[in-house]
Amino acid sequence: MNDLIKKVTQLLDDKTINVFIGYGQGTASRIRTIFVKNSSQVENLVYTSDCTANLAGYLLKHEVKKIGKLGILANDSALRSMMQLASEFQIKDGEVYVLHAAKDGSFTEFADFQSIEAYLVTIDTGITSDEQERIAKLEAMTVKERWIFWNKEFEKCIKCYACRAACPMCYCHRCTTDVNQPQWIPVASHEQGNLDYHLMRAMHLAGRCVNCGECANACPMDIPLNLLTYQLIAPIRTTFDATAGMKADAVYALSTFKPDDKENFII
């Protein structure tokens, strides 16, 4: 922890960065994101086992970007988000100072994307066994049962778009939802609008989702949104040999192809 404070103080003092994105104490023992702009605020940084949020999403927020050069405390998910964002030309190598927080509480500086890539191949990037079980349970249902399950879930949706705001990959200035000519997605949070919105979002995240779970964490109605995109990770890996957020110069699984891509449903 002292290492973290010392490092961030130094970075801010020598103007390597103008703001550091890290974790701080929120209300009611909750952890929240803080933006440390000078050494007097550095003491607000905390790092505990509760600090699991993927902070990479803030790298693209206009309000944060305009402060100046960014530093970030990145967990594994954040590193993967950054690689995916880099492959989509949203951040450049050397643009962001990256301090990696490992699961054991140690901090490592990553000088460039190459070292992040080298690190990422050494870790387990899969979804948790609990998540796997929940997906398997859904997959074991009939189509009609799944329809009912998701209808019940989507019924709760109030279209607050917290999922979209929390997702590091939802950085579009204008989401399909906001397009009104034509109005692809009905605006109101009725069943149809909710279904359209969530399917659209899942499809747009297919092959890009780094399974950080921020969408589901952010959902005030506890809809297990993450399962929609998590379920696509395995088929995309097995069919296209692609995993999101592993390489800064990766080609997106859905904007490339192999002439012999396998399917069994086209007649």
Partner 1 sequence: MQEFEPKIVAFVCNWCTYAGADLTGTSRIKYSANVKIIRFPCTGRIDFMILMKAFENGADGIIVSGCHPNDCHYSTGNFHARRRWIVLRNLLNFAGIETDRIQFSWVSAAEGFKWADVVNNTVAAIKEIGPYENYRKIAVSTLFNEEGASNE
Partner 2 sequence: MSRIGVFVCHCGENISATVDCEKVARISGELKGVEFSADYKYMCSDPGQTMLKDAIREHKLDGVVVAACSPRMHEPTFRNACAEAGLNPYLCEMSNIREHCSWVHPKSDLTTDKAESLVRVMVEKVKKNKALNSIKVPVTRTALVIGGGVAGIQAALDIANCGHKVVMVEKLPSIGGHMSQLSETFPTLDCSQCILTPRMVEVAQHPNITLYTYAEVESVDGFIGNFKVKVRKKSKSLDEHLCTGCGLCTTKCPQKKIPNEFERGLGFRPAIYVPFPQAVPNKPVIDRENCTYYIKGKCKVCEIVCPTKAIRFDQEDEIVEVDCGAIVLATGFDVLKPDFFPEYGYGKYKDVIDGLQFERLASASGPTQGMIRRPSDGEIPKKIVFVACAGSRDPAKGIEYCSKICCMYTAKHAMLYKHKVHDGTPYVFYMDIRAGGKNYEEFVRRAIVEDETHYVRGRVSTIYEKNGKLIVKGVDTLMGAQPVEIEADMVVLATAGVANKGSEELAQTVHVSYDAHKFFAEAHPKLKPVETNTAGIFLAGACQAPKDIPESVAAASGAAVKVAALFSNDLLTREPLIAVVNRQAPPVYSSCVGCFLCQSVCPYQAIEREEIKNRNGEVIRTLAKVNEGLCQGCGTCVALCRTKAIDIYGYSNQQVYSEIMALLND
At which residue do the structure tokens 């699984």 appear?
Answer: 253
Q: Which is nearer to partner 1, 107 or 240 (CB)?
A: 240
List the single partner that 175 binds among partner 2, partner 1, none, CB under 5 to 8 Å by kind: partner 2
Burial (Cβ within 10 Å: 0-12, 13-18, ≥19) of residue 76: buried
Contact flag: residue 181 with partner 2 (CB under 8 A): yes
Q: Which is nearer to partner 2, 36 or 170 (CB)?
A: 170
Angstrom CA distances, 40 to 35, 55, 64, 104, stand at 12, 22, 19, 27
Count how many residues are written for the chain: 267
Kindly state the smallest distance separating residue 102's Cβ from partner 2, in Å: 30
Position 112, amino acid:
D
Q: Which is nearer to partner 2, 25 or 256 (CB)?
A: 256
Q: Give me the residues that bind partner 1 (CB under 8 A), please.
A: 138-139, 143-151, 176, 184, 186, 188, 190-193, 195-196, 198-200, 202-203, 206-207, 228, 231-232, 235-236, 239-240, 253-259, 261, 263, 265-267
Asked if residue 182 has a cis previous peptide bond (ω within 30° of 0), the answer is yes
Contact in structure between 72 and 64 (CB atoms under 8 Å): no
Position 80, amino acid:
R
Kindly state the smallest distance separating residue 68's Cβ from partner 1, in Å: 39
Q: Which stretch binds partner 2 (CB under 8 A): 34-42, 158-166, 174-182, 210-218?
A: 174-182
Contact flag: residue 94 with partner 2 (CB under 8 A): no
Query: Per the structure block, which two tokens stand in for 99?
Result: 């301090």
Q: Which is nearer to partner 1, 60 or 203 (CB)?
A: 203
Task: Please pick, from the candidates 31, 33, 88, 138, the single residue that binds partner 2 as defined by CB under 8 A.
Answer: 88
For residue 18, give every residue at least 6 positions away whose Cβ sits within 8 Å of its Cβ, in sequence order, or none: 12, 37, 67, 68, 69, 70
Nearest one of 253, 213, 250 to 234, comparing CA atoms: 253
Kindly state the smallest distance separating residue 168's Cβ from partner 2, in Å: 13
Kindly state the smallest distance separating residue 149's Cβ from partner 1, in Å: 7
Q: Which stretch binds partner 2 (CB under 8 A): 17-25, 121-129, 176-184, 214-222?
A: 176-184
Task: Report the C-alpha gap between 215 and 225 in whole angstroms.
Answer: 7
Q: Which is nearer to partner 1, 215 or 232 (CB)?
A: 232
At which residue do the structure tokens 């204008």 appear?
Answer: 174
List the single partner that 231 binds among partner 1, partner 2, none, CB under 5 to 8 Å by kind: partner 1
Report the interhelical angle of 129-139 vs 226-240 (nearest 10°): 90
Question: 3-class DSSP state for residue 43?
Answer: helix
Q: Which is nearer to partner 1, 64 or 203 (CB)?
A: 203
Kindly state the smallest distance separating residue 121's Cβ from partner 1, in Å: 24
Position 32, amino acid:
R
- Residues lying near partner 2 in the complex (CB under 8 A) are found at 88-90, 171-176, 179, 181-182, 184, 204, 251-252, 254-256
